[in-house]
Structure 1
Amino acid sequence: MAEIQARQPGPDGIALGLAPAAAGDTAKPGNHRALLVLNGSGSPITVTIAVPGVTATFEPIPDNAVTVAANELRAIPLLGVYADPENNRLAAITWSSTTSVTRGVIQL
C-alpha cells in the first residue's frame, strides 16, 4: 500500500503537486485533512473511502463513495471515522478508475 503523504501550505501557499492515483492508496485521516482528487478523464469516477467497523447490530458500516465528475477537482474530507485500527489507523482508498486521475492530501 502507498500512503499519500499530507502537504501543509505555508504563508505563501503551496503547489499541489498531485501524483497518479494507484491501487492500494492509503492516507492518514484527521482534522483539517482532505483528499484532493483531480479527474482528468472524460468520464466520472468513483472514489471510495472504507469505513471500518460494524454497527450495533453487527452490520458493516457503509463506505463513503464519492463521484468525481470528468475534469473536476474535488476535496474530500478525511474524517477520523476512516482510520482503520487494523491498518496503522490509515484510511483505505479505492478508485473505480485510475486513468488520468491524480491525487494528494492537504493539511490545513
Structure 2
Amino acid sequence: MATRTPQAITVGGITPTYHAATAATGDKVKAGDRTFIHVRNGAGAPVTVTFSGVGKTSYQEDLPDKAYTVAASGELLIPVLPSLGDSEDGSLATFVCSAAADVTFAALRI
C-alpha cells in the first residue's frame, strides 16, 4: 500500500504525475476539502474505486464504504473529502481499485 502526497495545482498549472493503482492492498492519500484523485481507466471494462473506513456516525458506528465506477476507457475525478479520511491514521483515505491493470491515478490538491 503506497501513500501518495497530493500534488498542488498552482496558478501556473501542473503536469500531474500518475501512479499505477494497487488492486490488492490499495493506496492512501491525505483527505482534505480541496483534494481529489483523477482516475484513468485504460482497461476495456469498468473499474470500481472503493474508499473504506470512511468514518463514523455521531453514535460511533462505521459509515458504509463509498464506491465510484470509472467507465471502460474512461476517467473520473473523485473528491477525497475529510469524511473519507481516518482520523486515527492522520486523515489518510484508503481506496482500492477493483482491477489494477491499465488503471492509474493522480492525487491532486487545488
Q: 1:27 aligns with which of 22, 26, 29?
A: 29
Shifted more, 43-52 versus 6-15: the winner is 6-15
Q: Which residue of 2 aligns with 1:95?
A: 97
Aligned pairs for 1:63-102 (under 5 A) are 63-102=65-104
Q: Equivalents in 2 of 1:5, 1:70: separation in Å?
A: 26
- Residue by residue over 1:1-34, the C-alpha shift from the partner in whole angstroms, topping out at 9 and shown as x without a partner, is 3111111122321112211011330000101111
Q: Equivalents in 1 of 2:13, 2:93: separation in Å?
A: 26
TM-score with structure 2 setting the length: 0.87
Q: Equivalents in 2 of 1:105, 1:57: separation in Å?
A: 29
Q: How many residues align?
A: 107
Q: Equivalents in 2 of 1:89, 1:106: separation in Å?
A: 16
Q: Does the CA-based 8 Å contact 2:49-2:67 persist in structure 1?
A: yes
Alignment RMSD: 1.6
Identity %: 33
* Structure 2 portions without partners, runs of 5+: none
Aligned pairs for 1:37-52 (under 5 A) are 37-50=39-52, 51-52=54-55
Q: Equivalents in 2 of 1:17, 1:39: separation in Å?
A: 15
- The letter of the residue matching 1:10 is T
TM-score with structure 1 setting the length: 0.89
Q: Which residue of 2 aligns with 1:2?
A: 2
